[in-house]
Chain A
């Protein structure tokens, strides 16, 4: 039990969930065929706003994190209204530039503590442990200490948020909105001609991506106690992009798988830590050359569904035939 509840493993699980949320954020923008490299920037806004609110103003966490997301969303409006007029490469560069501007601004403001970053951000698990102590569970329950209990409940809360987002994304893809997104992704002109307000839907997708990235930033800040401008630089933007490129951006499971693999990979391949960026770079090139749609695409899902169906059919048939022969 203690082995499984090792704080290190618990921390990794938390990071996997945070990265999965980031994967969903890039999936939402990519659902309309827009490549936004600004999600690291939106994440940093969410992280800084919510961390400053809890750290300096004493705002409770459950208010601070959504406010961080809203701030990212607001920023997305400022940057998004001019940039969603742009397509493809222009949008990618403009959003990359936006991330860079955010980083430089954070580096220079006094309230964000410049290059040193913010430290001592109230940690979610510590907060929850305190709550548990106040509830009279100072000794812990079921062999778990209060600290472990705090960590477990953080994971629980994160998992609920992730589950909700996945549910939302799945519902989205079968809704009117999702079909409009898919139409824009397939062919923007055709979508416009058939009466879809492409500008509105692209902006909406951009906002949703920014909001989710902001939430992920706020949550990440309250898990790690420290954030600095370096955490949200170019490499972060590339890493978030990798989730979608490796896993695939057609279906929501793609970025989820991508974030799971890419968060576990450096932990499993400890010896390869120094080569991590090189491996990432190689993955990007190889994926683009051999499987640009990512590991999971709609075809993959269909294939496995069919296979599993036929397998279960075959096994039931086998069962029947065995019974009859007996």
Chain B
């Protein structure tokens, strides 16, 4: 008798517990938006109420309006495409070179002794120091910009790939040896999957640096691109245009990073790590 009384009581307490769980799934990302949204709305209000003229720090509505105007005139897509092309080309070159060099240095000890000290020495040079040389060698147009971005992307990829190969668990490699895998099979079936998580991280770091260096490249001398919008905004005193370019940089950077993450996710579902548990 006591049990039949207890059971409905249990169900009652269980039901309202499900609702906060569902709520928190949306609330958690929303919490991260709270600070920037409140700041933006606050500034909008300050300008709207006339406490500031918003000339040097334009309100969000003005920035948005600038983006819309640039988009309408077709300027925006021209600048975005120019920047995307540079980042894409530089990133691709940097990834190819970094992956090949990193793989050789990680896999072959002699190559590491031969090449790694030189690469590390070059890495110590601030990449922007290459700019004058690249301009002299490659001209002031696209080639020198792409080269600069490629240099920026190269180092994290090189280090990531080399480090990942060097840290592959010897015990796992031994499993490959026990099953008598040939050299190529060992690479394909053991080394590649083992280094993939670190490689994806290296790609994301490299892409981040690619976005950093495209700004540097475009600030130096360009007639189009988001970096040019920044410089143009500074020279003509248009802070809204600068902020618009910054906002678009942020969106594009986040978007391309997200693309890598999404593309890699199905390959990394096996990971048993803190971060792989859905961000608890």
Bound pair (A, B): no
Q: Chain A: residues with CB nearer than 8 A to chain B? A: none
Q: Chain B: residues with CB nearer than 8 A to chain A? A: none
